[in-house]
Amino acid sequence: MAAALSNNSYAILGMVALRPMSGYDIKAFADETVRHFWAISYGQIYPELKQLEELELVSSEEAAVGGRQRTVYQATTRGREALEAWLSEPVESPMEVRDEMLLRVFFSDHGDPKDRERLLRATVKRHQDAAARLGDHRPKAASHGPSCRLEVLDFGIAFHRFCADWFSKQLRTSEEAGNHAG
């Protein structure tokens, strides 16, 4: 069973295990939560839901949502069992980071140091802003009591703070090298 499902399937299964959702609700929920570490495009949602329904891991029903008729999905008992089994499996590969700015820093010896510093400043600000935005969600998340979702939110805040600090260090190193070159 586990091999037949993608991580996107499990992400969607996890969402509809939290509460019944339409495809639109899943996308909105993903955009507010998991997109910070796991991207799911709108085009992936319905094919994944179709597969999950064929495997009887989710069930669906038509419901009026906000004055519109929508198909709402929820995890079945079998779906919750599949999710629980997936959650118990070890993760074999380390986290993979795919970041355009790190790619640019890697090759920045070939560019103008002033451009590098400008980009580093902007990157520091982006990570500071991201940490602040995530931090804004923390009081609401914490009001629900301790949860794994709160822990992941804290990871996101710490991650962006780390990135802001790391890129700040690269900026200082670059500026110091420029001051000594003259």
Assigned token pair, 27:
């996308």
Q: Look at the alpha carbons of 139, 140, 144, 146 in this order and tell me if their dihedral is positive or negative.
A: negative
More confident residue, 67 or 152: 152
CB-CB neighbours of 103 under 10 Å: 10
What order do you get walking across the sheet with 68-75 strand by strand?
21-22, 68-75, 58-65
Q: How far is the C-alpha of 64 from the C-alpha of 70, rounded, in Å?
A: 6
Rounded to an integer, the average pLDDT of 103-113 is 93
pLDDT for the residue numbered 1:
45
Q: How far is the C-alpha of 157 from the C-alpha of 135, rounded, in Å?
A: 6
Q: How far is the C-alpha of 96 from the C-alpha of 102, rounded, in Å?
A: 13
- Contact in structure between 13 and 94 (CB atoms under 8 Å): no
More confident residue, 180 or 42: 42
pLDDT, tens only, 17-72: 999 999 999 999 999 889 888 989 999 999 999 999 999 999 999 988 778 899 99
pTM for the model stands at 0.78
Assigned token pair, 67:
């004055």
